[in-house]
């Protein structure tokens, strides 16, 4: 199974994601290093975060400030047995009234005296280095009353430093950069889709190109410059291909006409020779003439003018072809019958449809024994059927990419090639039902005219 090519949006999106993630990691690394190697800034950040967390338990009840910590808050500041270090907390009002304290002499050693007015923030280093041993406090307003939360952390037993660092990374870096990353990805995809809209229009135009129209080109209007150059190159290629195909059609048609005259002269000369070998040569020339006629028909089918299409009746075309080919059919010891069930009007090139039916009838005559009955049926609806009770298509042509339709015997199957080509020009569907010694039924279904 062939692997699909990646889309331009997918390629760009993946690269933006990769480079954005790399930039995010580098930026986080820079910010982490900035805080990690600056103890002063990181310790202030830790004190501010922890005192703010502790202050959530301070409420005003019946006009009085109270401290009511929940279970999670108690667990957060509880030092486990065996941990090295300590955590001391004191909460007091601006007047010096203590709302909560878990220390006695330690509070007097590490915190401000109760007589000191409440500052907005203070900090001092107990012991430099990591893990932090610091003390400090931050004031908060509770319904107009100032409250000071003081905290002394000795050797940071609960890892508050890492919590502060991760919290700062998340709030200041990860969330903003993720939002920006999503906006950049969305804007990029939208921009690429908008830029590729003309390309999608060109693709639809390429799919809608009529192979019969040698002047068909892809639209280059409103294309980005880079893509417009590609479209122009494709249009130049289409022009060269159109010239090449037209030359090939003219060559096929001309050579068929040029050879027909000397072949006719050769047959006339052979008819004057009373020799069995001359009759064999005449049969060979008849076969050559038939191939030339088919080449001419194929060239005519490939050189169709779109203006030649018109509304016509399949019943009228089928009746005319059956009548015109009847002498040939009877002369070969076969019979032909025409049945009309009524057909809807179709838009076709009558001459090509006549050629298609004539090829099917001639194939039925040529490849079946004497006594074969051929039935041409028109309808019901926009369809035509050519049926016989002969030996079936035992030498059914197979498609070859280089040679077209080639029979198993090695002969060119131009008759069926012409039928398929004419059906393709009319967007008609062909169904072949054949079996050995049970005959062949070929049905061509057209599209009814609106």
What's the CATH class of domain 210-303?
A: mainly alpha
pTM here is 0.45
The region of weakest confidence among 62-66, 133-137, 290-294, 398-402 is 398-402
Q: For the segment 269-325, what is each residue's pLDDT rounded down to a tens digit? A: 788 888 778 777 877 777 667 666 666 666 666 556 667 788 999 999 999 999 999
Domain boundaries of the chain, sorted by first residue: 38-158, 210-303, 307-445
Distance CA 381, CA 144 (A): 92
User: Rounded to the nearest 10 degrees, what angle do helices 39-55 and 160-169 cross at?
Assistant: 90
Distance CA 96, CA 340 (A): 114
What phi-psi label fits residue 121: left (phi over 0), alpha (psi between -120 and 50 degrees) or beta? beta
Q: For the segment 373-397, what is each residue's pLDDT rounded down to a tens digit? A: 999 999 898 999 999 998 887 655 5
307-445, CATH topology level: Heat Shock Protein 90 (3.30.565)
Q: Which CATH number applies to 38-158?
A: 3.30.450
What phi-psi label fits residue 429: left (phi over 0), alpha (psi between -120 and 50 degrees) or beta? beta
The pLDDT value recorded for residue 404 is: 40
The residue with greater pLDDT, 267 or 303, is 267
Coil, helix or strand for 438?
coil
Q: Under 8 Å CB-to-CB from 111, ≥6 apart: which residues?
A: 88, 90, 135, 137, 150, 152
The answer to whether residues 297 and 316 touch, using CB atoms and an 8 Å cutoff, is no
Distance CA 71, CA 377 (A): 93
Distance CA 365, CA 362 (A): 5
Q: For the segment 180-228, what is each residue's pLDDT rounded down to a tens digit? A: 878 888 888 888 888 778 778 888 888 877 666 667 788 877 777 777 8
Q: For the segment 18-59, what is each residue's pLDDT rounded down to a tens digit? A: 888 888 888 878 878 888 888 888 899 999 998 998 888 888
DSSP 380-432: SSSEEEEEE-SS--TT--EEETTTEEE-TTS-B-HHHHHHHHHHHHTT-EEEE
Tell me the pLDDT band of 120, cut-offs 50, 70 and 90.
very high
The residue with greater pLDDT, 169 or 364, is 364
> In the predicted model, what is the mean pLDDT of the chain?
81
The pLDDT value recorded for residue 407 is: 44
């Amino acid at each position: 199974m062939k692997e699909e090519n990646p889309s331009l949006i997918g390629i760009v999106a993946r690269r933006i994601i990769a480079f954005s993630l790399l930039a995010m990691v580098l930026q986080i690394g820079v910010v982490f290093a900035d805080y990690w190697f600056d103890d002063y800034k990181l310790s202030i950040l830790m004190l501010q975060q922890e005192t703010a967390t502790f202050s959530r338990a301070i409420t005003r009840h019946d006009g009085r400030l109270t401290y009511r910590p929940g279970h999670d808050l108690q667990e957060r500041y509880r030092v486990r047995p065996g941990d090295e270090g300590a955590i001391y907390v004191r909460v007091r009002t601006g007047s010096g009234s203590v709302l909560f304290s878990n220390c006695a002499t330690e509070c007097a050693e590490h915190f401000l005296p109760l007589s000191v007015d409440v500052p907005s923030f203070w900090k001092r280093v107990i012991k430099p280095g990591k893990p932090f041993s610091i003390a400090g406090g931050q004031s908060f307003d509770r319904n107009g009353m100032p409250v000071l939360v003081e905290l002394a952390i000795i050797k940071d037993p609960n890892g508050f430093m890492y919590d502060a660092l991760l919290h700062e990374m998340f709030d200041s870096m990860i969330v903003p950069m993720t939002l920006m990353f999503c906006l950049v990805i969305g804007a990029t995809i939208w921009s690429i889709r908008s830029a590729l809209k003309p390309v999608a229009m060109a693709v639809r135009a390429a799919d809608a190109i009529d192979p019969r129209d040698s002047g068909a080109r892809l639209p280059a209007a409103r294309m980005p410059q880079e893509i417009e150059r590609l479209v122009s190159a494709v249009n130049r290629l289409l022009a060269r291909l159109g010239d090449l195909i037209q030359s090939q059609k003219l060559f096929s048609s001309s050579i068929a006409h040029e050879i027909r005259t000397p072949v006719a002269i050769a047959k006339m000369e052979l008819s004057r020779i009373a020799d069995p070998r001359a009759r064999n040569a005449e049969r060979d020339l008849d076969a050559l003439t038939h191939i030339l006629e088919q080449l001419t028909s194929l060239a005519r089918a490939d050189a169709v003018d779109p203006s030649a299409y018109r509304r016509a009746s399949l019943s009228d075309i089928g009746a005319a072809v059956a009548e015109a080919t009847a002498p040939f059919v009877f002369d070969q010891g076969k019979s032909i019958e025409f049945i009309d069930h009524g057909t809807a009007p179709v838009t076709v090139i009558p001459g090509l449809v006549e050629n298609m039916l004539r090829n099917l009838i001639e194939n039925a005559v040529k490849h079946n024994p004497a006594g074969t009955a051929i039935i041409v049926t028109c309808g019901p609806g926009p369809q035509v059927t050519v049926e016989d009770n002969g030996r079936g298509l035992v030498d059914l042509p197979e498609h070859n990419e280089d040679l077209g339709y080639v029979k198993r015997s090695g002969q060119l199957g131009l008759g069926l090639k012409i039928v398929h080509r004419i059906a393709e020009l009319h967007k008609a569907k062909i169904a072949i039902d054949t079996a050995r010694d049970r005959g062949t039924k070929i049905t061509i279904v057209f599209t009814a005219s609106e």
